[in-house]
Amino acid sequence: MEPTHAISRTCNGSVFPLPGVYMLDSAHTFVEFRTQHLMVGHVRGRFDEVTGSATVAEDPTQSTLDVTVATKSVSTHNATRDADLRSPRFFDVEQFSTMTYRGTSAVPEFDGRWTIDGMLTIGAHTLAVPLSAFVTGIVEDPMGNIRVGIHATAQASRKAFGLLTDLERESGGVLLGKDISILIDAEALLQR
């Protein structure tokens, strides 16, 4: 759907919403991940509890993003694997109940995408992880809310976040997918 110009702007060909604070619509926000399994297949999963907001600045490059994900909400469609992911071997949900992403700036690219620079915190580790994002649409919904759709992707090192330590010890470091692909589809509502 083409964005309505009265509720959106462009910067270097990239579309972005009007200034303001946009709260994530948790019912229409999906955070998924994928990583290699034994170097032949892939394991996919998602997090079912996501909250957050984006503050779109007058200068869109100064916009910020704050997202919180409940680590206990991880789901890979396998109860045994999910329990393992919640354990101290991985997310350690008893000690670290959330992971966070803090976006600190946005750079418009010439193909319509935005590069969002920010810090991802998983457990005791906080590292820079850029998001590659684009606005999928901006509309006024039937209730009169300004609603923004966003699609974003990222790559993160499982090792850097301490999510491979036990697996490397158990397998000798072979046959392990070192990176994780992150896929986000989100909707957010302008707060008035």
Q: Both ends of the chain: CA-CA distance in Å?
A: 24
Tell me the C-alpha distance between 17 and 149, whole Å.
Answer: 10
What is the reported pTM? Answer: 0.86
Is the sign of the CA dihedral 159, 74, 64, 7 positive or negative?
A: positive
Mapping DSSP to helix (H, G, I), strand (E, B) and coil, where does residue 175 land? coil
Q: What is the pLDDT of residues 17-50, one digit of tens each?
A: 889 999 999 999 999 999 877 667 888 999 999 9
pLDDT for residue 168 is more than 70:
no
pLDDT of residue 172: 54
Structure tokens at 169: 């010890």
Place of tokens 């604070």: 21
Give pLDDT tens digits for 96-141: 999 999 999 999 887 888 999 999 999 999 999 999 999 999 999 8
All residues at 6 or more sequence positions from 133 whose CB lies less than 8 Å from its CB, including other chains: 106, 113, 114, 115, 116, 150, 151, 152, 153, 184
- CA-CA-CA-CA dihedral for 100, 106, 108, 114, to nearest 10: 10
Provide the pLDDT for residue 41: 81
Closest among 128, 130, 88 to 113, alpha carbons compared: 130
Residue bearing the bigger pLDDT, 148 or 89: 148
Please tell me the CATH code under which domain 5-190 is placed.
2.40.128.110
| Rg (the chain; Cα; Å) | 18
Hey, CA dihedral for 56, 57, 62, 65, is it positive or negative?
negative
